[in-house]
Amino acid sequence: MDPGRVFENDPPSRTLPWSVRPGARAWRCAPAPAEVRSFHFSLPDYATTPLTEIPSLAVELEVGRVFVKDESARLGLPAFKALGASWAIHRTLAERVASGEPGPVTLVTATDGNHGRAVARTARRLGQHAHVFVPQGVHPQAVAAIVAEQAKVTEVPGPYDEAVRLAAEEAAAPDAVLVQDTAWPGYEQIPGWIVEGYSTLCAELDEQLAAEGVTEGPDLVSVPVGVGSLAQAVITHYRSRPSERASALLSVEPESAACVLESLALGEPVSVTTGDTTMAGLNCGTPSSIAWPYLRGGLDAAVAVADADSARAAGDLAALGVSSGPCGAASLAGLRAALTGADAEERRTALGLGPSSVVVLLSTEGDAANPHSTAGH
């Protein structure tokens, strides 16, 4: 039987978009390569991002402890994405040297802002060129931030998928390479390196939690999800280590772009028609092809939230001293949706949560990262 079909879904009349898979904590996979962390450690701007405990959220969510992993300043940029871009570009250039192509290269990508800016920054640092395709709806400030990294920017009068298509076409030119943070059949190696790059975030988290006395890992991690590459990295981390007490993993998407929730519900990867959302980095209609087996196997649950919920979560985090944009704060909005309200007890039980549980939410961008565009990834 297709394991994806064991998902239990709420009936369509329910208001909370929610999908749960009971067997996920027993699913296992191979770990990310250990050298990623030391690579990041060698970068000039590298520093561990903060892990902040927020007792008032633990009270509100009726759990023992809540920690926020704050990605508002990562490798000089206001989102976690440079972890993936820097490692993938390092690997790409190393392969080119190994195959006798050491010359300059143009790194091509499509983006709603964060990933493209990270590719452009990395290209500039390494003396390479970058060409970034942005779909319609990307805020002019996000475009300006990419231009400021000396990248060539092409604005596409269409949605994110169209920008990806044009970027892939452009990357067919000699001495050009597509560095995209989503995979599809036939284009999987570089997105795989991007996922590996995100593993540093999880490695830091282990050390930081251990320093807080949480040595067995958290009971629940809440992850904002667009195409699922970050979630793939988180699943890889928590499902590849021997643990008596496996962590539950929750994905959070915008209601208007819940391609992972929809795919889990159907048991196969599907594309959804996306609409507008302030959670621009999560506005993706298709799960990454390499993420899908991990999402299907290792995610405990998926939930979708409205723009107003992530905006409220961002405001609350700001009041608590954590800068968080709409995508980053989606993780808190998703936790609130899952752990409180009607039928919360059922969902808490499904996630294995109790009053002393330790919960981590990944705040994947700072407020400065997102000038409230409505485009794709």
Residues that bind ligand PLP (CB under 6 A): 79, 81, 114-115, 224-231, 281-282, 284, 327-328, 364-365, 377
Sheet of strand 106-110, all strands in order from the earlier edge strand to the far edge: 152-155, 129-134, 106-110, 176-178
Q: Shortest distance, CB of residue 13 to ligand PLP, whole angstroms?
A: 29
CA angle 44, 47, 50 (to 5 degrees): 160
Catalytic residue among 69, 81, 181, 309: 81
81 flagged as catalytic: yes
First-residue to last-residue Cα distance in the chain: 33
Q: Shortest distance, CB of residue 377 to ligand PLP, whole angstroms?
A: 5
Q: Number of helices (H) and strands (E) in the chain: give both, helices first.
A: 13, 12
**Closer of 81 and 90 to ligand PLP (Cβ):** 81
Residues 307, 256: Cα–Cα separation, whole Å? 9
**Closer of 61 and 252 to ligand PLP (Cβ):** 252
**Closer of 79 and 146 to ligand PLP (Cβ):** 79
**Closer of 230 and 359 to ligand PLP (Cβ):** 230
Q: Shortest distance, CB of residue 97 to ligand PLP, whole angstroms?
A: 28
CB 322 within 8 A of CB 71: no
Task: Provide the token pair at 364.
Answer: 């994947």
CB 274 within 8 A of CB 307: no
Residues 221, 338: Cα–Cα separation, whole Å? 12
Name the DSSP letter for residue 72. Answer: S
Catalytic residue among 112, 181, 300, 309: 112
Q: Shortest distance, CB of residue 80 to ligand PLP, whole angstroms?
A: 7
Task: Provide the token pair at 240.
Answer: 């590849």
Q: Shortest distance, CB of residue 290 to ligand PLP, whole angstroms?
A: 11
152 flagged as catalytic: no
**Closer of 65 and 309 to ligand PLP (Cβ):** 309
Residues 139, 66: Cα–Cα separation, whole Å? 33
Residues with a catalytic annotation lie at 81, 112
